[in-house]
Chain A
Amino acid sequence: MKKWLVSMVIILFVVALAACTAKKGAGEESKDNGKQNATEESVDKKVLKLNNGREPTSFDPAIGFDNVSWNALNNLMEGLTRLGDDHQPQPAIAEKWDVSEDGKTYTFYLRKDANWSNGDPVVAEDFIFAWERLLNPDTGSAAGFLGYFIKGGEAFNNGEGSKDDLGLTAVDEKTFEVELESPTGFFLHLITNPAFFPVNHKVAEENPKWHAEANTFVANGPFKLDTWKHDNEMVFSKNKEYWDAENVLLDGVHWTMIDDVNTEYQMFERGELDSAEIPAELSDQLIDGENVRIVERGGLDFYRFNVTEEPFQNIKIRKAFALAIDQKEIAEFVVKNKVEPASGFVSPGFMNPEGKDFRDVNGDLISFNPEEAKALLEEGMKEEGYDELPKVTLSYNTDNVNKDVAETLQGMISEHLGIKVELENTEWNVFLEDQKALKHQLSRSSFLYDYADPVNFLESFITGSYMNRTGWSNEKYDELIANAKSAVDEKKRWEYMYEAEKLLAEEMPIFPIRYYNQVEVLQEGVTNILRHPVGYLDLKYADKQ
């Protein structure tokens, strides 16, 4: 009898427990429903639900030099210009501007109705304050180099000049004059970059940490920062002080910080996010879906030779390796996600003054050619007097995609050149340290553009550049890049860049793998989220049905 009683009690207990948990879930659901009802009642508040991945490094425009900071910040603040849906700079805080005849002086007229979210007007002084801070060596900004086009910028950032010599003048409250080192054709695009956002100097002088919390943050963009729970979530709402507020369609943006692509996608499936990346494992299944959007992204995935070490001091051997690589196969079957194989160094999408694409003008510079590769290898080995090629190690920073690509490269080199290369991977920070110190022979690299001009990438390979990391040095190349940065005639400037890229392909201190793209799945009814090939996420015109 008793035994039965005990069993009964236990069964009851278990059932009760199950009921409890079920109820918890149920309670949550009804609460959610309640919320939904409430929002529906308040005339469809349009709140876009996005994932920022991680906590923004900083909302200080000079410091947060990364996607997790600037994708969000780009919607809270606005510079003199803003990229439109054609990816070209449009008037923003500046309603118009004059350019002097020599192309070196820009005069910006700020909008009379451009205000900060606390009601202060956006004035020329705010820009001077922010740009001086960007270039001040004490600020320690990693984005400082972007300001080197401003007169005196590089000298001030190097600690040689002073901020008084910077070419920045507030003509009056709403007129801002900038002098440049040389006519910089892409200057209007450059200043859409968050590094050039203004900072409310009154607020910042009073509280230097104004950007650290939601209650002290002042915005001048389409949205303002309502709450910011660090490492957890951020809530943006429409900024009524924004000069173009009537064209902002969303009521707000809710950002979570989920640092896991699978979880992000699962939340998307559940309807808790409006946009998500596609996890690599699901790429084949999802990439052709209706709500998938693919946008080009300016940049290059490539490999660097170390030309100071055997056997890559020899151009022909470098070329042999480069021509043994079938970029198409890597793009299509290894990286997937519809990335484009690279046949040159500058990614497509940069238009010359005549409106022609840089890539189309310069054509295919590198294409897979196993026969030529083999012939070049033999010639190269003869030149160097090798009977057998010195051992080659291919290095990459630890990452699943990098590993797949590296293994494919290993296979291709072995198949087409009959050379066995060894693979080596290290953690990113160690990898970078070794690459800088030229300790690698052949190593993986990537580049993403900061501003929409090919010179941004091409200047990486001038002698002694921090970005060079190949040991390669070529006087002619240095000269071409110097000209490409200073030429007054825009057409000439592009000629220099074409020539520089061709020279790079001839000497081959690096070889390209693929260009980048941005892939996202969207919920139905979500429209006009702007993603630029070069630039940051823009939600100004985004809408949600």
Chain B
Amino acid sequence: MLRYILKRLLIMLVTLWIIVTLTFILMVTIPGSPFNSERGTNEVVQANLEAHYNLDETYIVQYFLYLKSIVTLDFGPSIKQPSQTVNDMLMRGFPISFELGIITIIVAVLSGVTLGIFAALKHNQIIDYLAMGFAVLGISIPNFVLATLLIQQLAVNIELFPVARWLSPAHMILPITALATGPMAIIARLTRSTMLEVLTQDYIKMARAKGLSPWKIVIKHALKNALMPVVTIMGTLLAGILTGTFVIEKIFAVPGMGKYFVESINQRDYPVIMGTTVFYSAFLIIMLFLVDIAYGLLDPRIKLHKKGGK
């Protein structure tokens, strides 16, 4: 196990390095500059600014400066908002994005699995159709459409929730609903289909024959196996939720990390592009790693380490 973890850590570092390098290459290839404006400045000012942010160095030097900033975890000041450092932005935005993301995942998994179980148990009954109809809707409506719809109906028309911003638990309900519905629907459909499969297995029939109540069978025997595919797609869902937060944060004016990630690219704010990309990828890589570990723990058939099995 330990060997596996060490090996994975090494691969993670290499992955991160590749991401950083690719990001850097893309960054210097897109035309434009952080100092581009309708007005423009004279050459001396332009040169001073470029020198100040080391943009007058060769690409190789710049590349190593970026690597250095990543190793020392100090991304320096933003070019576009010079009184703030990239670290400030990350420290301020990430906890909020994380809060939004993590609650969304919990809500999506809990409600998705519940819905899936109900649908499977009431297979081909009205509850099944309702649940799956709901799931199809959830998958097909993009989250930004749902977000606008939720605000208009629940915040403007009947004034049940606040329209936007991130101040209290009540403010969280709409953005989380908008963001969680898609993943929830995917999880529900997945749970339903695997659950249906598991329920026809012999060991379930055995449990039924023993006279166990249907709920006991589901919770104790069927669920554990039915959840495996859900764990498998968690990694992908996580990435989806992370990118989903960019849009949702904008619509609900949530002061998270999303806007730095998107705007820095539009503005060619190089230190912020680098900082947010590295941060997001490191986060995602670590999460995927955790999912893999969880997978191994849940299913003893999956061996994370090959002991002499060459």
A residues less than 8 Å from B160 (CB atoms): 25
**B213 proximal to A (CB < 8 A):** yes
A residues less than 8 Å from B155 (CB atoms): 266, 270
Once the chains are docked, how many angstroms separate the CA of A466 from the CA of B43? 11
A residues less than 8 Å from B84 (CB atoms): 212, 230
Assess the A137–B80 pair: CB atoms within 8 A. Answer: no
| Minimum distance in angstroms from B56 CB to a CB of chain A | 13
**From DSSP, what is the main secondary structure of chain B's interface residues?**
loop
Once the chains are docked, how many angstroms separate the CA of A55 from the CA of B250? 13
Assess the B170–A145 pair: CB atoms within 8 A. Answer: no
B residues less than 8 Å from A157 (CB atoms): 42, 44-45
B residues less than 8 Å from A141 (CB atoms): 41, 45
B residues less than 8 Å from A140 (CB atoms): 41, 45, 48-49, 52
Assess the B32–A432 pair: CB atoms within 8 A. Answer: yes
A residues less than 8 Å from B165 (CB atoms): 256, 258
The contact size tier of chain B is: 35 or more
**B261 proximal to A (CB < 8 A):** no
Please report which residues of chain A, range 137-166, place their CB below 8 angstroms from some CB of chain B when the two chains form the complex. 137-138, 140-142, 144-145, 157-159
From A31, A142, A263, B151 is in contact (CB under 8 Å) with: A263
Which residue of chain A has the shortest Cβ distance to B53 in the bound complex?
Answer: A140
Interface locus among B20-28, B62-70, B251-259: B251-259
**A96 proximal to B (CB < 8 A):** no
Assess the A55–B164 pair: CB atoms within 8 A. Answer: no
**B201 proximal to A (CB < 8 A):** no
- Given the interface pairs A270-B159, A428-B266, A429-B266, the reply to whether A263 lies near B83 with Cβ below 8 Å is no
Assess the A466–B151 pair: CB atoms within 8 A. Answer: no
- Given the interface pairs A231-B259, A260-B250, A467-B39, the reply to whether A269 lies near B156 with Cβ below 8 Å is yes
Please report which residues of chain A, range 433-453, place their CB below 8 angstroms from some CB of chain B when the two chains form the complex. 433-434, 446-447
The contact size tier of chain A is: 35 or more
Chain A 227-267: CB-based contact to B (< 8 A → 1; otherwise 0): 00111100000000000000000000000111110110011
B residues less than 8 Å from A58 (CB atoms): 81-83
Assess the A259–B268 pair: CB atoms within 8 A. Answer: no
Once the chains are docked, how many angstroms separate the CA of A306 from the CA of B37? 19
From B39, B80, B93, A145 is in contact (CB under 8 Å) with: B39
Which residue of chain B has the shortest Cβ distance to A257 in the bound complex?
Answer: B253
Once the chains are docked, how many angstroms separate the CA of A427 from the CA of B32? 10
From A138, A428, A434, A467, B40 is in contact (CB under 8 Å) with: A467
**B208 proximal to A (CB < 8 A):** no
From B44, B88, B253, A258 is in contact (CB under 8 Å) with: B253
- 30 A-B pairs in the complex with CB atoms less than 8 angstroms apart: A24-B170, A27-B170, A28-B162, A28-B168, A55-B81, A57-B81, A60-B82, A60-B83, A141-B41, A142-B41, A144-B42, A145-B41, A212-B84, A230-B92, A231-B92, A256-B165, A258-B253, A259-B259, A260-B250, A263-B151, A266-B163, A267-B163, A269-B156, A270-B156, A270-B162, A429-B31, A430-B32, A447-B38, A467-B38, A467-B39
Q: Which 5 A/B pairs are nearest by Cβ-Cβ distance? A: A429-B32, A212-B83, A466-B40, A28-B170, A159-B44
